[in-house]
Amino acid sequence: MKYELYYWPHIPGRGEFVRLALEYAGAEYVDVGRLPEAEGGGRPGVAKMLEAAADGHTPFAPPILKAGDIVVSQTANILQFLGPRLDLAPKTEAGRLWTHQLQLVLSDLIVEAHDTHHPIAKSLYYEDQLAESAKRAENFRKLRAPKFLGYFERLLSGKDAWLADRAVTYVDLSMFQVWGGLNYAFPKLMARLAPEHPKLAALAQRVEKLPGIAAYLLSPRRMPFNQHGLFRHYPELDE
């Protein structure tokens, strides 16, 4: 199976969670948004997929994954689809549901991190919502980030444990990306929180060393965090 991933070419964003799964598994895929526009890529290529009928199931927004005749959208939904196909999900139905549940919790954390710099509207610039961002970020630093990270820390029963199963699943790869994003956006906060969450810190280090991931991180395909994505660094929002 050769997959097609449709996501905006200038940010890692939510598309990166899908890329990590595909890269870890060594799956063959085309990152359409990062192809030249002359080859059907770029923003026009992604926009075209958004306008396609897809048998009446038109996606709302990227990321979008095309697998043969199947079109899947929404990050957690894509990963739930890919998990069994890439050997990144438990074998049992209960295990797969649990993994999906954890991915949805991570999705909530991602939204809360994003909303520290865009608490009112995505259509407004950060500079248009400074006061609201300061309040939202303070709440995130003091309450929300510790609550989410504390929950995932408690799920890791041992030193070398994974979050959802005895083996690595897509939710471990997603946690690696979230951990990195939080360190990019809130370096001072994470300097304080990391020692309080040693199992999560160790998990992120283990994921980084996985063969498929380690090779991907060194490749030009890996896009760095930047000031246009989900995780943005504004020093005044950090501690």
| Range of the structural domain that residue 192 is part of | 93-209
The alpha-helical segments, DSSP class H, found in 115-197 are 130-139, 145-155, 170-185, 187-193
SS3 (DSSP) at 99:
helix
Sheet containing 2-6: which strands, arranged edge to edge?
28-31, 2-6, 64-67, 70-73
Neighbours of 46 (CB within 10 A): 22
Domain count, the chain: 2
pLDDT in tens, 202-212: 999 999 999 99
The answer to whether residue 227 scores a pLDDT higher than 70 is: yes
Same domain, 98 and 182: yes
- Dist. CA 12–CA 66, nearest whole Å: 19
* Euclidean distance between CA atoms 29 and 190, whole angstroms: 34
Domain assignment present for 131: yes
- Give the model's pLDDT for residue 97: 98
For residue 114, tell me if it sits in a domain: yes
Output the pTM of the full model.
Answer: 0.95
Handedness of CA 152, 154, 155, 158 (dihedral sign): positive
Q: Is residue 102 part of a domain?
A: yes
